[in-house]
Structure 1
Amino acid sequence: MSLIRDLTDEEARAALVLKWGETEPGVLPAWVAEMDYAIAEPITSALRDAVDRGEVGYPAFVRSGGKLGEAYAGFALRHFEADVPPDRVLPTADVTVGVRIALEVLSERAPMVLPLPAYDPQHGLGRITGREQWDLPVEPDADRYVVDLDELDRLFARGARTLLLTQPHNPAGHVHTREELEGIRDVVVRHGARVVSDEIHAPLVLPGAEFVSYLSLEGTADHAVAVVAASKAFNIPGLKCAQIVTGDDATRDRLVEIPMAQNDSWGSLGVVAAVAAYTEGDPWLAALVERLDQQRMLLGRLLTENLPQARMRPLEATYMAWLDLRAYGHDDPAEVLLRGGVRVSPGQAYWPGLGGHVRLNIATSPERLTEIVRRMAAALTGGRGGGDDGGASGAPPA
C-alpha cells in the first residue's frame, strides 16, 4: 500500500483552504504550492500528541540548535551528505521571513540581484528591506535554466551586493549542478558579495538530478546562509517553522543577537511537525518523490498528446512545472485556462511583463492531472472545455 494517499475533492477543499477553498467549485486548482495528498502519519501523530498534552503555547526560547537543530542536522546528513552542526540551525517563521532577516542583518544596504523568473513573494523583499532589486533574466527560450555569470558579474561591478539564489529553483524546476554553483561562487567572491540561498525544495529533487547546497561548497561559509524548511516537502506550510542554516559561528552569532521582535514568530506546533518530519518522515518522503517522478512523466506524455506546442524545461525538482504556452497566442494564458476550468499561477507573477507562461502544480492524483491537461488543451485551442461538471475530477471516491 502506498504511503501517499490522494485527498478526495471534499477532503482537499476542507484541508487546503487556500488552494481549494479559494477556487470556485467546478474549477480544478493547480496553482499555489500545496499537494493534494494526506499528511504523513508520523507528523499527524506528533501533532495530535502535542495538542492532547496542550502544547499550543510559545515554543521553547532556543535561538539556535536544540531538538530542531539536531533533527535537521540528521536529515541533512542522511539526504544530502551535508555536515551541519546543530547549533548553526536557527528557527524562523518561514523561508520568506528567513530570507528577509538575512538581508536585513547580513547584507549591505545595496541592490540585491534576483534571477527571473522568481518565486513571487521574493519580488517584494528588496522594497521591504530598503534595497533596490536588480533583475537577472534567464533566457526564456533556452532549453535549460542557466544563470548568466557575465551579467551577474556586471551587476556586482555596478554595485549590487547580494544574490538571492533559489536552489532548487521555483518555478523553473532546475537543480543547479556543482559546477554551476561554483561558477556563481567565484563571481560572488570576486566582488566580496553575499548569497542568500532559498533551499526549501531540496528534499524534492527528482531522479536524475542531485542536490548540492550552496553552503557545502568550499569558500562559501563566510558569505552565505541557506534557508530551509520541511513545509514544502511535507505539505505543512501553515505551521510556520523554517530554519536559517549558517556556515560559520560568526554568522550564526550575528543572527542570534538580533532583537527578538525581528525573528519571533515560529510556532510550537511547527517545531513539533518539523522534528517529526526530519526524524520519522523518510519513508513517506521517498514515496512522495516516487509519486512526483511518475507525475512528471505523465505530464510529459499528456503535453505531447494534448498540447504539443507547449514548451517545458526539464522538471528536475519540485512539483511545479514552468510552461511556455506562447505558441497558443494568449498573452495571459492563466486567465484563459481559468475560464476553461483550471486555475494555474500566471507567469507574470514570477516575471513581471513576461507573457505566455504559467506555473502548473502537478502534486495531485494522476486522474486529476489528466483532466487538468485535457481542460487546458480545450481552452487554449478553442475546443470544448471542461469545468461544467460541478467539481468531478477523477479523484478517488471518498
Structure 2
Amino acid sequence: MSSDRASLIRDLSDEEARAALVLKWGDTEPGTIPAWVAEMDYEVAPVVREAVAAAVERGVLGYPPLDRAGGTVAEAYAGFAQRRYGATVDPAHVLLTADVTVGVRVALEVLSERAPMVLPVPAYDPQHGLGKVTGLEQWSLPVDLDGDDYALDLDELDRLLARGARTLLLTQPHNPAGHVHTRAELEGIRDVVTKHGARVVSDEIHAPLVLPGAEHVPYLSLEGTADHAVAVVSSSKAFGVPGLKCAQIVTGDDATRDRLVDTPLAHNDSWGSLGVVAAEAAYAHGDAWLDALVERLDQQRSLLRSLLAEHLPEARTWPLEATYLAWVDLRAYGHDDPAAPIRAGGVRVTPGAAYWPGLAGFVRLNIATSPERLTEIVRRMGAALD
C-alpha cells in the first residue's frame, strides 16, 4: 500500500478498540483478542466521522423525516453504485430501512408469498431466525463443504422451488464464505427462480468490500430481475457504522417500491438521523478511504494464508474474495467446537454452528485488524489446537 493511501487506515490500539467497539471488544474478557463479530479494528473513515460530528454539533439528534423515500441518501447511493459497480440505480427506487436484517425481514413479509423460503447454508446467523419471525418455513440449501469453493447447487434449488418454496434469500457477497457470485452464477440463479415464479431477496451489505480479483454484480443489474427481486444494502460494514442505523432497500420497478411504501410506517421505521448523515457521507465522499481499506484487507488475506500455513497447516479455507471474514475448516484438529479451545487460548472467534446449526469443526475469523494483531491471533489459535 502506498504511504499516502496507508495513512488513511488507522489501527485502533487495544484501549481505543475497547472503548469504541463496545460489543466486539467490550464483551470479550481482557487478555483475549476478539476476532468474532463483524466490526473492524480501524478508526472510522474521517469523512464519515466528521460529518456525524458536525451533525451532532448542529443538534441533529431528533427523528428523521418519516418519508421512506431515500432522498439524499438514495442519490448518493446511486452515484456510488455507478462508480463502484457500473450499475444504474434509479434513486426513486431506493427506500430507507433501519438495517439490513430489518430490510430483509420487511421484504420477506411484504413481498414474499406465504410459502417456504430457501436459505443457503452456511448463512449469516441472524438470517436463521427470519423464518420464525416472518412466519415462513425455512428450507436449507446446504453447500458442499468439501469443495474447493462456495457453490450453490442449482439442481437442488430447482427441486426446492418445485416442491413449493417461493423465495430465495441470497447473500452476495457471502458471509461467512467470502464468496463473490459471478455474473454466470447469478444468471443461473435467476433462470431457476424465474422458471418457478419465485422471488429473490439479495443481501448485498458486503458489496463494497469485494477484494482484487473479483467483481460485484448487483443482482438487480441482471436483465429480467426487476419484477421479482430487491437488494438490501448499507454502508455500515464497509465504513464501520452499524450502530447508526440506516440501510437501504433497492427495488427494480415502481410496483415493488409502491408495495413497500404502502405498508404501515410501524412495519418499517427506526432508521436514525445520524445514520442518514453517515450513509450520505460514505456514499458520496468515502471512495478514497474505501480504496485504502480494500487494499489493507487484500494484504490481510495474504497474511492470513501465510500464517495458517505456518501455525495451522491442516486448516482449509475457501478463497476469500470479499469481506474481512474468513470461513476456516478446522475439522482436521479433532474438535467439534474448535472455538472453545481457541477462546481458552486467548482468541474469540465465532463457532461455525452459528452459521449452520449442528455443524462441527468450523469457525469464522475476522481479519479486519492490524497485521501484528492478526499474527498473534493465528499464533494463539495454532497453540490452542496443537
Aligned position for 1:10: 15
Aligned position for 1:369: 374
Aligned position for 2:145: 140
Q: Offset of 1:131 from its aligned partner?
A: 0.8
CA distance in 2, matches of 1:138, 1:272: 38
- Please, which runs of 5 or more residues in structure 2 have no aligned partner? none
| 2:103 partner amino acid | G
Identify which of 211, 226, 231 aligns with 1:226.
Answer: 231
- Counterpart secondary structure, 2:372: helix
Aligned pairs for 1:188-203 (under 5 A) are 188-203=193-208
Identify which of 313, 326, 338 aligns with 1:308.
Answer: 313
Identify which of 90, 93, 104 aligns with 2:95.
Answer: 90
Q: Offset of 1:374 from its aligned partner?
A: 0.2
CA distance in 1, matches of 2:359, 2:146: 12
Q: Does 2:106 correspond to 1:101?
A: yes
- Counterpart secondary structure, 2:55: helix
1:70-101 CA distance string (max 9 Å, x none): 01001001101111011111000000000000
Aligned position for 1:211: 216
Q: Does 2:91 correspond to 1:77?
A: no
Aligned position for 2:72: 67
CA distance in 2, matches of 1:216, 1:240: 26
1:221-259 CA distance string (max 9 Å, x none): 000000000000000000000000000111001101110
1:33-81 CA distance string (max 9 Å, x none): 0000000111111111111111110112221131011010010011011
Length-normalised TM-score, structure 1 = 0.95
| 1:85 partner amino acid | D
Aligned position for 1:280: 285
Q: Offset of 1:278 from its aligned partner?
A: 0.4
Q: Does 2:244 correspond to 1:239?
A: yes
Count of aligned residue pairs for this structure pair: 381
- Counterpart secondary structure, 1:164: strand
| 1:307 partner amino acid | L
CA distance in 2, matches of 1:62, 1:363: 35
Q: Offset of 1:122 from its aligned partner?
A: 0.1
Aligned position for 2:253: 248
Identify which of 172, 179, 189 aligns with 1:167.
Answer: 172
CA distance in 1, matches of 2:243, 2:84: 24
Aligned position for 2:276: 271
CA distance in 2, matches of 1:65, 1:81: 20
Identify which of 123, 127, 143 aligns with 1:122.
Answer: 127
- Please, which runs of 5 or more residues in structure 1 have no aligned partner? 382-398
CA distance in 1, matches of 2:151, 2:175: 13
Aligned position for 2:341: 336
Q: Does 2:110 correspond to 1:111?
A: no
Contact 2:339/2:351 (<8 A) preserved:
yes
Length-normalised TM-score, structure 2 = 0.98
CA distance in 2, matches of 1:101, 1:45: 32
CA distance in 2, matches of 1:341, 1:260: 45
Aligned position for 1:392: none
Instruction: Identify which range, 228-237 or 63-72, moves more after superposition.
Output: 63-72
Q: Offset of 1:24 from its aligned partner?
A: 0.2
| 2:374 partner amino acid | L
Displacement over 4 Å in runs of 4+: none
- Counterpart secondary structure, 2:141: strand
CA distance in 2, matches of 1:6, 1:173: 23
| 1:369 partner amino acid | L
Contact 2:70/2:248 (<8 A) preserved:
no
Identify which of 288, 291, 295 aligns with 1:290.
Answer: 295
1:295-319 CA distance string (max 9 Å, x none): 0000000001111100000000000
CA distance in 1, matches of 2:310, 2:54: 48
| 1:107 partner amino acid | S
CA distance in 2, matches of 1:207, 1:231: 21
